[in-house]
Chains A and B, each alone.
Chain A
Amino acid sequence: MSKRLRIVTICGCGVGSSVMLKVNLEEVLKKVGLEADIVPADVTTAYGEKCDIVITQEVFKHALKGATYKEVIFLKNLASKKELEEKLIPVLQKMGYIQPS
């Protein structure tokens, strides 16, 4: 718990959606008062990545092979902050980073 959270966001190239996701993620984390290292990655370089949470889309599921992580969140809509918040908060509570409300 004391360790700083590391979250990897994955999209096809690691330059578009995953960077946009990082921006949304920062806003959601700020709301709950958490700080994290957020690393955008692409499906190729996610190989060998170590982190606490992976956030990506179902279509990039295959990229998770070779990555080490504790939790994974699949988003239907990469651009939706609402969906991100709804799926991320329960995961953070389960991992003990925030108190259940």
Chain B
Amino acid sequence: MPLDYPVDDFFNEDELATAATYVTAAGVRTEILVIFDKEYVLTPVGDIAVENTGPVALAKTTDVTGATTDCTLIIGGTTYYIMTAKPDNTGITILTLAENRSW
């Protein structure tokens, strides 16, 4: 059973949260708030490293319940594929994102 944390307190647009559009596989669009991070990362490919960014969004689990890799998140005009959705059992789901994917 998920723990009952006051997660709404974290998703405040006056602080860290930013507006996003969550689009389900069926094309249903919902305006939600996420905490978005896109830090510099090095992606190892065999023995080579490629400069990249690692986009991650924290969302309220209730906003993205059932998120699959066929869902997308639009943030600041950029569409990101949801690569993984990991509920943390406190009411927040960690979404790892990518602007494109190999399939």
| A and B found bound together | no
Residues of B bordering A, CB below 8 Å: none
